[in-house]
Structure 1
Amino acid sequence: MPETSATHLVLIPSYNPGPKVLATVRAARAQWTPVWVVVDGSTDGSAAQLQALAAEDAGLRVIVLPENRGKGAAVLEGITQAAAAGFTHALTMDSDGQHPAELIPAFMAASQAQPATMVLGKPVFAADAPALRVNGRKVSNGWANLETLWMGIGDSLYGFRVYPIAPLRDIMQRNRFMRRFDFDPEAVVRLCWAGVRPLNIDAPVRYFRADEGGVSHFRYLRDNTLLTWMHTRLFLGFLVRLPVLLWRRLQSTT
Protein backbone atom coordinates (compact mmCIF):
# COMPACT_ATOMS: atom_id res chain seq x y z
CA MET A 1 0.00 0.00 0.00
CA PRO A 2 1.28 3.50 -0.78
CA GLU A 3 2.22 5.77 2.09
CA THR A 4 -0.23 8.60 2.75
CA SER A 5 0.60 12.12 3.89
CA ALA A 6 -1.33 15.28 4.66
CA THR A 7 1.83 17.44 4.33
CA HIS A 8 3.91 15.92 1.52
CA LEU A 9 2.64 15.26 -2.00
CA VAL A 10 4.17 14.10 -5.26
CA LEU A 11 3.93 16.75 -8.00
CA ILE A 12 4.50 15.75 -11.62
CA PRO A 13 4.68 18.52 -14.25
CA SER A 14 3.96 17.02 -17.65
CA TYR A 15 4.21 18.27 -21.23
CA ASN A 16 3.76 15.87 -24.17
CA PRO A 17 5.48 13.14 -22.15
CA GLY A 18 5.16 10.21 -24.54
CA PRO A 19 3.86 6.70 -23.87
CA LYS A 20 5.51 6.24 -20.47
CA VAL A 21 3.38 8.80 -18.64
CA LEU A 22 0.69 6.42 -17.39
CA ALA A 23 3.27 3.91 -16.14
CA THR A 24 5.14 6.76 -14.43
CA VAL A 25 2.03 8.01 -12.65
CA ARG A 26 0.97 4.51 -11.64
CA ALA A 27 4.46 3.86 -10.27
CA ALA A 28 4.29 7.06 -8.22
CA ARG A 29 0.83 6.17 -6.94
CA ALA A 30 2.09 2.72 -5.88
CA GLN A 31 4.51 4.52 -3.56
CA TRP A 32 2.62 7.59 -2.35
CA THR A 33 -0.70 9.31 -1.75
CA PRO A 34 -1.47 11.91 -2.99
CA VAL A 35 0.01 12.38 -6.45
CA TRP A 36 -0.82 15.47 -8.48
CA VAL A 37 -0.08 15.85 -12.17
CA VAL A 38 0.03 19.31 -13.79
CA VAL A 39 -0.58 18.90 -17.52
CA ASP A 40 1.22 21.87 -19.05
CA GLY A 41 -0.80 22.46 -22.21
CA SER A 42 -0.03 19.02 -23.67
CA THR A 43 -1.29 18.36 -27.18
CA ASP A 44 -0.63 14.60 -27.30
CA GLY A 45 -3.87 13.41 -25.70
CA SER A 46 -2.18 12.61 -22.38
CA ALA A 47 -4.47 14.98 -20.44
CA ALA A 48 -7.54 12.89 -21.27
CA GLN A 49 -5.68 9.68 -20.42
CA LEU A 50 -4.61 11.04 -17.06
CA GLN A 51 -8.05 12.40 -16.26
CA ALA A 52 -9.54 8.98 -17.00
CA LEU A 53 -6.98 7.44 -14.63
CA ALA A 54 -7.81 10.00 -11.93
CA ALA A 55 -11.53 9.30 -12.27
CA GLU A 56 -10.84 5.82 -10.86
CA ASP A 57 -8.23 6.85 -8.29
CA ALA A 58 -9.02 9.20 -5.40
CA GLY A 59 -5.32 9.58 -4.63
CA LEU A 60 -4.58 11.11 -8.02
CA ARG A 61 -5.44 14.65 -9.07
CA VAL A 62 -4.89 16.11 -12.53
CA ILE A 63 -4.60 19.86 -13.12
CA VAL A 64 -4.81 20.86 -16.78
CA LEU A 65 -3.33 24.16 -17.96
CA PRO A 66 -4.88 25.43 -21.22
CA GLU A 67 -1.54 26.29 -22.83
CA ASN A 68 2.11 25.41 -22.44
CA ARG A 69 3.74 27.73 -19.90
CA GLY A 70 6.94 25.83 -19.05
CA LYS A 71 8.04 23.45 -16.30
CA GLY A 72 8.57 26.15 -13.69
CA ALA A 73 5.15 27.66 -14.34
CA ALA A 74 3.55 24.22 -14.01
CA VAL A 75 5.33 23.62 -10.70
CA LEU A 76 4.28 27.05 -9.44
CA GLU A 77 0.64 26.32 -10.27
CA GLY A 78 0.91 22.99 -8.49
CA ILE A 79 2.55 24.28 -5.31
CA THR A 80 0.18 27.25 -5.14
CA GLN A 81 -2.81 24.93 -5.15
CA ALA A 82 -1.03 22.51 -2.82
CA ALA A 83 -0.33 25.25 -0.27
CA ALA A 84 -3.99 26.27 -0.37
CA ALA A 85 -4.87 22.64 0.41
CA GLY A 86 -2.55 22.59 3.43
CA PHE A 87 0.49 20.82 2.01
CA THR A 88 3.94 21.97 3.09
CA HIS A 89 6.29 19.98 0.82
CA ALA A 90 6.26 18.72 -2.76
CA LEU A 91 8.39 16.03 -4.38
CA THR A 92 8.78 16.89 -8.06
CA MET A 93 9.51 14.26 -10.67
CA ASP A 94 9.36 14.04 -14.45
CA SER A 95 6.49 12.30 -16.21
CA ASP A 96 8.58 10.41 -18.79
CA GLY A 97 9.86 7.54 -16.65
CA GLN A 98 13.40 8.85 -16.12
CA HIS A 99 13.08 9.29 -12.36
CA PRO A 100 12.99 6.47 -9.76
CA ALA A 101 9.49 6.27 -8.28
CA GLU A 102 10.66 3.56 -5.90
CA LEU A 103 12.74 6.17 -4.04
CA ILE A 104 9.78 8.43 -3.28
CA PRO A 105 9.32 7.08 0.28
CA ALA A 106 13.02 7.50 1.11
CA PHE A 107 13.09 11.09 -0.15
CA MET A 108 9.88 11.92 1.69
CA ALA A 109 11.22 10.38 4.90
CA ALA A 110 14.38 12.48 4.63
CA SER A 111 12.26 15.60 4.16
CA GLN A 112 9.98 14.73 7.07
CA ALA A 113 13.01 14.23 9.31
CA GLN A 114 14.51 17.58 8.25
CA PRO A 115 11.61 19.68 6.94
CA ALA A 116 13.64 22.90 6.68
CA THR A 117 15.92 21.36 4.01
CA MET A 118 15.42 20.68 0.32
CA VAL A 119 16.13 17.06 -0.57
CA LEU A 120 17.98 16.92 -3.88
CA GLY A 121 18.44 13.87 -6.05
CA LYS A 122 22.04 13.36 -7.11
CA PRO A 123 21.87 11.48 -10.40
CA VAL A 124 23.55 8.13 -10.89
CA PHE A 125 23.84 7.62 -14.64
CA ALA A 126 23.69 4.34 -16.51
CA ALA A 127 26.54 3.50 -18.85
CA ASP A 128 24.41 4.33 -21.89
CA ALA A 129 23.49 7.85 -20.74
CA PRO A 130 24.23 10.49 -23.44
CA ALA A 131 27.73 11.86 -22.80
CA LEU A 132 26.68 15.33 -23.96
CA ARG A 133 23.99 15.50 -21.30
CA VAL A 134 26.13 13.97 -18.55
CA ASN A 135 29.16 16.18 -19.14
CA GLY A 136 27.24 19.31 -20.03
CA ARG A 137 25.54 19.47 -16.64
CA LYS A 138 28.91 19.81 -14.94
CA VAL A 139 29.08 23.41 -16.18
CA SER A 140 25.74 24.32 -14.59
CA ASN A 141 26.69 22.49 -11.39
CA GLY A 142 29.95 24.40 -11.18
CA TRP A 143 28.22 27.74 -11.55
CA ALA A 144 25.49 26.82 -9.05
CA ASN A 145 28.05 25.87 -6.42
CA LEU A 146 30.04 29.06 -7.00
CA GLU A 147 26.87 31.17 -6.78
CA THR A 148 26.07 29.64 -3.39
CA LEU A 149 29.65 29.53 -2.04
CA TRP A 150 29.56 25.74 -2.12
CA MET A 151 26.62 25.22 0.20
CA GLY A 152 26.48 21.64 -1.04
CA ILE A 153 24.34 21.37 -4.20
CA GLY A 154 25.07 17.88 -5.47
CA ASP A 155 23.32 18.45 -8.79
CA SER A 156 21.52 21.59 -9.92
CA LEU A 157 19.56 20.11 -12.83
CA TYR A 158 18.12 16.81 -11.60
CA GLY A 159 14.41 17.41 -11.09
CA PHE A 160 13.75 14.54 -8.66
CA ARG A 161 13.71 16.48 -5.38
CA VAL A 162 11.59 17.57 -2.41
CA TYR A 163 10.96 21.28 -1.98
CA PRO A 164 9.58 23.08 1.07
CA ILE A 165 6.65 24.82 -0.59
CA ALA A 166 6.49 28.15 1.28
CA PRO A 167 9.98 29.48 0.50
CA LEU A 168 9.89 28.20 -3.08
CA ARG A 169 6.52 29.80 -3.78
CA ASP A 170 7.63 33.09 -2.24
CA ILE A 171 10.82 33.14 -4.33
CA MET A 172 8.96 32.34 -7.55
CA GLN A 173 6.30 34.96 -6.92
CA ARG A 174 9.00 37.60 -6.48
CA ASN A 175 10.87 36.63 -9.66
CA ARG A 176 9.43 36.76 -13.15
CA PHE A 177 11.90 34.16 -14.40
CA MET A 178 12.06 30.49 -13.23
CA ARG A 179 9.15 29.53 -15.46
CA ARG A 180 10.70 27.27 -18.08
CA PHE A 181 13.59 24.81 -18.44
CA ASP A 182 15.80 26.98 -16.22
CA PHE A 183 13.54 26.42 -13.22
CA ASP A 184 15.46 23.59 -11.52
CA PRO A 185 18.93 25.19 -11.16
CA GLU A 186 17.60 28.66 -10.34
CA ALA A 187 15.31 27.21 -7.67
CA VAL A 188 18.13 25.52 -5.76
CA VAL A 189 20.43 28.56 -5.97
CA ARG A 190 17.78 30.98 -4.77
CA LEU A 191 16.64 28.61 -2.02
CA CYS A 192 20.24 28.40 -0.82
CA TRP A 193 20.37 32.19 -0.79
CA ALA A 194 17.21 32.12 1.34
CA GLY A 195 18.93 29.83 3.85
CA VAL A 196 17.35 26.53 2.79
CA ARG A 197 20.13 23.95 3.01
CA PRO A 198 20.40 21.08 0.51
CA LEU A 199 20.40 17.43 1.48
CA ASN A 200 21.68 15.18 -1.33
CA ILE A 201 20.61 11.58 -1.94
CA ASP A 202 21.88 9.43 -4.81
CA ALA A 203 19.18 8.47 -7.29
CA PRO A 204 19.42 6.67 -10.64
CA VAL A 205 18.32 8.39 -13.81
CA ARG A 206 17.59 6.72 -17.12
CA TYR A 207 17.52 8.23 -20.59
CA PHE A 208 15.23 6.24 -22.89
CA ARG A 209 15.89 5.98 -26.62
CA ALA A 210 13.10 6.91 -29.01
CA ASP A 211 12.49 3.24 -29.78
CA GLU A 212 12.02 2.67 -26.03
CA GLY A 213 9.36 5.35 -25.79
CA GLY A 214 11.71 8.14 -24.78
CA VAL A 215 10.74 11.73 -25.51
CA SER A 216 13.10 14.67 -25.09
CA HIS A 217 12.16 18.35 -25.32
CA PHE A 218 15.76 19.43 -24.75
CA ARG A 219 17.07 21.69 -27.51
CA TYR A 220 20.81 22.13 -27.23
CA LEU A 221 21.20 25.71 -28.50
CA ARG A 222 17.95 27.11 -27.11
CA ASP A 223 18.24 25.57 -23.68
CA ASN A 224 21.95 26.22 -23.20
CA THR A 225 21.34 29.86 -24.17
CA LEU A 226 18.60 29.97 -21.53
CA LEU A 227 20.95 28.45 -18.92
CA THR A 228 23.71 30.90 -19.83
CA TRP A 229 21.38 33.87 -19.36
CA MET A 230 20.11 32.40 -16.10
CA HIS A 231 23.61 31.95 -14.65
CA THR A 232 24.54 35.46 -15.77
CA ARG A 233 21.64 36.82 -13.73
CA LEU A 234 22.44 34.57 -10.79
CA PHE A 235 26.11 35.52 -10.79
CA LEU A 236 25.20 39.21 -10.62
CA GLY A 237 22.84 38.38 -7.75
CA PHE A 238 25.63 36.38 -6.11
CA LEU A 239 27.95 39.40 -6.19
CA VAL A 240 25.30 41.52 -4.45
CA ARG A 241 24.79 38.83 -1.80
CA LEU A 242 28.46 37.91 -1.40
CA PRO A 243 28.97 39.69 1.97
CA VAL A 244 25.97 37.89 3.48
CA LEU A 245 27.03 34.53 2.03
CA LEU A 246 30.57 34.99 3.36
CA TRP A 247 29.21 35.88 6.79
CA ARG A 248 27.05 32.75 6.81
CA ARG A 249 30.01 30.64 5.80
CA LEU A 250 32.14 32.09 8.60
CA GLN A 251 29.35 31.53 11.11
CA SER A 252 28.95 27.92 10.05
CA THR A 253 32.64 27.19 10.64
CA THR A 254 32.85 28.77 14.10
Structure 2
Amino acid sequence: MSALVPEPVPSTSHLVLIPSYNTGRLLLDTVRAARQRWAPVWVVIDGSTDGSEQALLALAAQDAQLRVWVLPHNQGKGAAVLHGVRQALAAGFSHVLTMDADGQHPAALIPPFMALSVGRPEAMVLGRPVFDASAPLLRVRGRKVSNGWTALETLGAGVGDSLFGFRVYPAAALEAVMRRQPWMRRFDFDTEAVVRLVWRGIKPLNLDAPVKYPRPEDGGVSHFRYGRDNVLLTWMHTRLMVEFALRLPGLLLRRLLRRAPFQP
Protein backbone atom coordinates (compact mmCIF):
# COMPACT_ATOMS: atom_id res chain seq x y z
CA MET A 1 0.00 0.00 0.00
CA SER A 2 1.27 3.50 -0.81
CA ALA A 3 2.35 5.61 2.16
CA LEU A 4 0.50 8.54 0.58
CA VAL A 5 -2.86 6.75 0.66
CA PRO A 6 -4.34 6.01 4.11
CA GLU A 7 -5.29 2.39 4.73
CA PRO A 8 -9.09 2.05 4.37
CA VAL A 9 -10.92 0.98 7.52
CA PRO A 10 -12.07 -2.64 7.01
CA SER A 11 -15.81 -3.03 6.50
CA THR A 12 -17.71 -5.78 8.28
CA SER A 13 -20.66 -5.70 5.86
CA HIS A 14 -19.40 -4.81 2.38
CA LEU A 15 -16.49 -6.30 0.43
CA VAL A 16 -15.04 -5.97 -3.06
CA LEU A 17 -15.23 -9.20 -5.07
CA ILE A 18 -13.10 -9.56 -8.21
CA PRO A 19 -13.52 -12.61 -10.47
CA SER A 20 -10.55 -13.18 -12.78
CA TYR A 21 -9.74 -15.42 -15.71
CA ASN A 22 -6.45 -15.01 -17.60
CA THR A 23 -6.23 -11.25 -17.10
CA GLY A 24 -2.42 -11.17 -17.06
CA ARG A 25 -0.49 -8.36 -15.43
CA LEU A 26 -3.57 -6.12 -15.14
CA LEU A 27 -4.94 -8.34 -12.36
CA LEU A 28 -2.33 -7.19 -9.85
CA ASP A 29 -2.80 -3.53 -10.82
CA THR A 30 -6.58 -3.83 -10.44
CA VAL A 31 -6.36 -5.49 -7.03
CA ARG A 32 -3.86 -2.95 -5.73
CA ALA A 33 -6.07 -0.08 -6.89
CA ALA A 34 -9.09 -1.67 -5.18
CA ARG A 35 -7.16 -2.24 -1.95
CA GLN A 36 -6.09 1.39 -1.85
CA ARG A 37 -9.76 2.32 -1.60
CA TRP A 38 -11.43 -0.54 0.24
CA ALA A 39 -10.95 -3.40 2.69
CA PRO A 40 -11.52 -6.25 2.42
CA VAL A 41 -10.92 -7.23 -1.21
CA TRP A 42 -11.49 -10.83 -2.27
CA VAL A 43 -10.44 -12.36 -5.60
CA VAL A 44 -11.70 -15.58 -7.19
CA ILE A 45 -9.29 -16.97 -9.81
CA ASP A 46 -11.53 -18.84 -12.25
CA GLY A 47 -9.17 -21.58 -13.40
CA SER A 48 -6.63 -19.20 -14.98
CA THR A 49 -3.82 -20.79 -16.99
CA ASP A 50 -1.63 -17.70 -17.48
CA GLY A 51 0.00 -17.77 -14.04
CA SER A 52 -1.48 -14.36 -13.16
CA GLU A 53 -2.50 -15.58 -9.72
CA GLN A 54 1.07 -16.22 -8.51
CA ALA A 55 2.02 -12.62 -7.71
CA LEU A 56 -1.43 -12.09 -6.23
CA LEU A 57 -1.09 -15.03 -3.85
CA ALA A 58 2.27 -13.64 -2.72
CA LEU A 59 0.66 -10.26 -2.09
CA ALA A 60 -2.23 -11.85 -0.16
CA ALA A 61 0.25 -13.61 2.11
CA GLN A 62 1.32 -10.16 3.35
CA ASP A 63 -2.13 -8.51 3.43
CA ALA A 64 -4.79 -9.71 5.86
CA GLN A 65 -7.48 -7.75 3.99
CA LEU A 66 -6.82 -9.55 0.69
CA ARG A 67 -8.09 -13.10 0.19
CA VAL A 68 -7.70 -15.24 -2.92
CA TRP A 69 -9.52 -18.39 -4.00
CA VAL A 70 -8.22 -20.42 -6.93
CA LEU A 71 -10.81 -22.60 -8.67
CA PRO A 72 -9.46 -25.78 -10.30
CA HIS A 73 -10.90 -25.08 -13.75
CA ASN A 74 -12.68 -22.31 -15.64
CA GLN A 75 -16.40 -22.20 -14.78
CA GLY A 76 -17.43 -18.73 -15.96
CA LYS A 77 -17.77 -15.28 -14.39
CA GLY A 78 -21.12 -16.00 -12.76
CA ALA A 79 -19.85 -19.20 -11.19
CA ALA A 80 -16.79 -17.38 -9.83
CA VAL A 81 -18.97 -14.62 -8.38
CA LEU A 82 -21.30 -17.21 -6.83
CA HIS A 83 -18.33 -18.91 -5.17
CA GLY A 84 -17.23 -15.59 -3.69
CA VAL A 85 -20.76 -14.63 -2.62
CA ARG A 86 -21.19 -17.88 -0.73
CA GLN A 87 -17.87 -17.37 1.02
CA ALA A 88 -18.90 -13.79 1.87
CA LEU A 89 -22.22 -14.90 3.37
CA ALA A 90 -20.48 -17.59 5.41
CA ALA A 91 -18.15 -14.89 6.79
CA GLY A 92 -21.05 -12.62 7.75
CA PHE A 93 -20.92 -10.05 4.92
CA SER A 94 -24.18 -8.70 3.52
CA HIS A 95 -23.11 -7.01 0.27
CA VAL A 96 -20.49 -7.48 -2.45
CA LEU A 97 -19.23 -5.00 -5.01
CA THR A 98 -18.21 -6.85 -8.16
CA MET A 99 -15.65 -5.41 -10.53
CA ASP A 100 -13.71 -6.81 -13.48
CA ALA A 101 -10.04 -7.71 -13.12
CA ASP A 102 -8.97 -6.33 -16.49
CA GLY A 103 -8.69 -2.64 -15.67
CA GLN A 104 -11.99 -1.54 -17.23
CA HIS A 105 -13.75 -0.54 -14.02
CA PRO A 106 -13.02 2.60 -11.92
CA ALA A 107 -11.56 1.59 -8.54
CA ALA A 108 -11.78 5.24 -7.45
CA LEU A 109 -15.58 4.92 -7.38
CA ILE A 110 -15.63 2.00 -4.95
CA PRO A 111 -16.19 4.27 -1.87
CA PRO A 112 -19.18 6.24 -3.29
CA PHE A 113 -20.83 3.06 -4.57
CA MET A 114 -20.38 1.43 -1.18
CA ALA A 115 -21.65 4.54 0.62
CA LEU A 116 -24.87 4.51 -1.40
CA SER A 117 -25.31 0.82 -0.68
CA VAL A 118 -24.76 1.32 3.06
CA GLY A 119 -27.46 4.00 3.01
CA ARG A 120 -29.85 1.88 0.93
CA PRO A 121 -29.02 -1.74 1.84
CA GLU A 122 -32.28 -3.06 0.40
CA ALA A 123 -31.27 -1.93 -3.11
CA MET A 124 -28.60 -2.87 -5.64
CA VAL A 125 -26.26 -0.15 -6.89
CA LEU A 126 -25.58 -0.41 -10.62
CA GLY A 127 -22.83 1.29 -12.58
CA ARG A 128 -24.05 3.18 -15.64
CA PRO A 129 -21.09 3.21 -18.03
CA VAL A 130 -19.68 6.40 -19.51
CA PHE A 131 -17.63 5.34 -22.53
CA ASP A 132 -14.56 7.03 -23.91
CA ALA A 133 -12.94 6.71 -27.33
CA SER A 134 -11.39 3.35 -26.44
CA ALA A 135 -14.78 1.60 -26.39
CA PRO A 136 -15.44 -0.68 -29.41
CA LEU A 137 -18.34 0.90 -31.30
CA LEU A 138 -19.95 -2.46 -32.08
CA ARG A 139 -20.13 -3.34 -28.39
CA VAL A 140 -21.48 0.09 -27.40
CA ARG A 141 -24.27 -0.21 -29.98
CA GLY A 142 -24.92 -3.88 -29.24
CA ARG A 143 -25.53 -3.32 -25.52
CA LYS A 144 -28.45 -1.03 -26.41
CA VAL A 145 -30.30 -4.13 -27.64
CA SER A 146 -29.76 -5.96 -24.35
CA ASN A 147 -30.73 -2.84 -22.40
CA GLY A 148 -33.96 -2.57 -24.37
CA TRP A 149 -34.92 -6.18 -23.61
CA THR A 150 -34.00 -5.69 -19.95
CA ALA A 151 -36.19 -2.59 -19.67
CA LEU A 152 -39.11 -4.64 -21.01
CA GLU A 153 -38.43 -7.67 -18.80
CA THR A 154 -38.28 -5.47 -15.68
CA LEU A 155 -41.26 -3.32 -16.73
CA GLY A 156 -39.13 -0.19 -16.70
CA ALA A 157 -37.96 -0.60 -13.10
CA GLY A 158 -34.95 1.62 -13.80
CA VAL A 159 -31.99 -0.58 -14.73
CA GLY A 160 -29.55 1.95 -16.21
CA ASP A 161 -27.34 -0.65 -17.89
CA SER A 162 -27.76 -4.42 -17.98
CA LEU A 163 -24.20 -5.46 -18.86
CA PHE A 164 -21.86 -3.26 -16.83
CA GLY A 165 -20.42 -5.45 -14.08
CA PHE A 166 -19.33 -2.70 -11.65
CA ARG A 167 -22.15 -2.93 -9.11
CA VAL A 168 -23.08 -3.67 -5.49
CA TYR A 169 -25.36 -6.64 -4.83
CA PRO A 170 -27.24 -7.69 -1.69
CA ALA A 171 -25.41 -11.00 -1.31
CA ALA A 172 -28.21 -13.14 0.15
CA ALA A 173 -30.68 -12.14 -2.58
CA LEU A 174 -28.14 -12.80 -5.34
CA GLU A 175 -27.24 -16.21 -3.93
CA ALA A 176 -30.93 -17.10 -3.66
CA VAL A 177 -31.78 -16.33 -7.29
CA MET A 178 -28.69 -18.18 -8.55
CA ARG A 179 -29.35 -21.22 -6.39
CA ARG A 180 -32.79 -21.71 -7.91
CA GLN A 181 -31.68 -22.19 -11.53
CA PRO A 182 -28.64 -23.39 -13.48
CA TRP A 183 -28.02 -20.33 -15.67
CA MET A 184 -26.19 -17.02 -14.94
CA ARG A 185 -22.82 -18.77 -14.78
CA ARG A 186 -21.02 -17.21 -17.77
CA PHE A 187 -21.46 -14.06 -19.87
CA ASP A 188 -25.19 -14.14 -19.14
CA PHE A 189 -24.54 -13.43 -15.46
CA ASP A 190 -24.67 -9.62 -15.30
CA THR A 191 -27.92 -9.18 -17.24
CA GLU A 192 -29.84 -12.09 -15.79
CA ALA A 193 -28.78 -11.11 -12.27
CA VAL A 194 -30.37 -7.65 -12.46
CA VAL A 195 -33.55 -8.94 -14.10
CA ARG A 196 -34.09 -11.67 -11.52
CA LEU A 197 -33.23 -9.38 -8.63
CA VAL A 198 -35.78 -6.83 -9.86
CA TRP A 199 -38.35 -9.64 -10.04
CA ARG A 200 -37.42 -10.43 -6.44
CA GLY A 201 -38.22 -6.84 -5.45
CA ILE A 202 -34.68 -5.41 -5.31
CA LYS A 203 -34.69 -1.79 -6.42
CA PRO A 204 -31.93 -0.70 -8.86
CA LEU A 205 -30.06 2.53 -8.12
CA ASN A 206 -27.75 3.89 -10.82
CA LEU A 207 -24.49 5.81 -10.63
CA ASP A 208 -22.43 6.95 -13.62
CA ALA A 209 -19.02 5.29 -13.94
CA PRO A 210 -16.34 5.80 -16.60
CA VAL A 211 -15.23 2.65 -18.39
CA LYS A 212 -12.04 2.17 -20.36
CA TYR A 213 -10.82 -0.60 -22.65
CA PRO A 214 -7.06 -1.08 -22.18
CA ARG A 215 -5.18 -1.67 -25.44
CA PRO A 216 -3.52 -5.05 -26.03
CA GLU A 217 -0.10 -3.41 -25.87
CA ASP A 218 -1.04 -2.15 -22.38
CA GLY A 219 -2.05 -5.64 -21.27
CA GLY A 220 -5.73 -5.40 -22.22
CA VAL A 221 -7.47 -8.75 -22.63
CA SER A 222 -10.99 -9.55 -23.78
CA HIS A 223 -12.73 -12.91 -23.52
CA PHE A 224 -15.85 -11.62 -25.29
CA ARG A 225 -16.69 -13.55 -28.46
CA TYR A 226 -19.31 -11.85 -30.63
CA GLY A 227 -20.87 -15.00 -32.05
CA ARG A 228 -20.78 -17.25 -28.98
CA ASP A 229 -21.78 -14.61 -26.45
CA ASN A 230 -24.51 -13.03 -28.55
CA VAL A 231 -26.06 -16.48 -28.98
CA LEU A 232 -25.87 -16.90 -25.20
CA LEU A 233 -27.55 -13.51 -24.64
CA THR A 234 -30.27 -14.31 -27.18
CA TRP A 235 -31.04 -17.60 -25.44
CA MET A 236 -31.05 -15.81 -22.08
CA HIS A 237 -33.51 -13.13 -23.18
CA THR A 238 -35.73 -15.78 -24.76
CA ARG A 239 -35.91 -17.62 -21.44
CA LEU A 240 -36.48 -14.42 -19.50
CA MET A 241 -39.27 -13.25 -21.83
CA VAL A 242 -41.15 -16.53 -21.38
CA GLU A 243 -40.92 -16.16 -17.62
CA PHE A 244 -41.72 -12.44 -17.84
CA ALA A 245 -45.02 -13.28 -19.54
CA LEU A 246 -45.94 -15.47 -16.58
CA ARG A 247 -44.87 -12.82 -14.07
CA LEU A 248 -46.49 -9.87 -15.88
CA PRO A 249 -49.75 -9.67 -13.85
CA GLY A 250 -47.82 -9.58 -10.56
CA LEU A 251 -45.33 -7.03 -11.88
CA LEU A 252 -48.13 -4.80 -13.15
CA LEU A 253 -49.82 -4.94 -9.74
CA ARG A 254 -46.57 -4.08 -7.98
CA ARG A 255 -46.00 -1.17 -10.34
CA LEU A 256 -49.57 0.10 -9.85
CA LEU A 257 -49.21 -0.05 -6.05
CA ARG A 258 -45.62 1.30 -6.16
CA ARG A 259 -44.28 -1.68 -4.31
CA ALA A 260 -40.66 -2.83 -4.52
CA PRO A 261 -38.88 -2.48 -6.88
CA PHE A 262 -41.10 0.32 -8.20
CA GLN A 263 -41.12 2.39 -5.03
CA PRO A 264 -39.58 5.91 -5.12
Q: TM-score range by the shorter chain?
A: over 0.9
Q: Secondary structure at the match of 2:111?
A: helix
Deviant stretches of 4+, over 6 Å: none
Contact kept, 8 Å, 1:15 with 1:39, in 2: the verdict is: yes
Matched with 1:239 is 245
Q: CA deviation at 1:128?
A: 2.8
Q: TM-score, normalised by structure 1?
A: 0.98
Q: CA RMSD in A?
A: 1.0
Alignment equivalent of 1:132, drawn from 114, 138, 154: 138
The residue type paired with residue 107 of structure 1 is: F
The residue type paired with residue 255 of structure 2 is: R
Matched with 1:229 is 235
1:193 aligns with 2:199: yes
Matched with 1:123 is 129
1:112-160 deviation per Cα after TM superposition (whole angstroms, max 9, x unaligned): 0000000000000002311011111000000011001000000000000
1:39 & 1:128 partners in 2: Cα distance? 26
Matched with 2:148 is 142
Q: CA deviation at 1:17?
A: 0.7
Count of residue pairs brought into register by the alignment: 254
Task: Please list every run of 5 or more consecutive structure 1 residues that lacks an aligned counterpart in the other structure.
Answer: none
1:69 & 1:124 partners in 2: Cα distance? 29
Q: Secondary structure at the match of 1:109?
A: helix
The residue type paired with residue 26 of structure 1 is: R
Q: TM-score, normalised by structure 2?
A: 0.95
Contact kept, 8 Å, 1:3 with 1:105, in 2: the verdict is: no
Contact kept, 8 Å, 2:10 with 2:65, in 1: the verdict is: no
2:214 & 2:38 partners in 1: Cα distance? 24
Matched with 1:89 is 95
Contact kept, 8 Å, 2:129 with 2:210, in 1: the verdict is: yes
The residue type paired with residue 235 of structure 1 is: M
Q: Percent identity at matched positions?
A: 68
2:122 & 2:167 partners in 1: Cα distance? 14
1:109 & 1:125 partners in 2: Cα distance? 24
Task: Please list every run of 5 or more consecutive structure 2 residues that lacks an aligned counterpart in the other structure.
Answer: 1-6
Alignment equivalent of 1:49, drawn from 55, 66, 75: 55
Matched with 2:4 is none
Q: CA deviation at 1:89?
A: 0.1
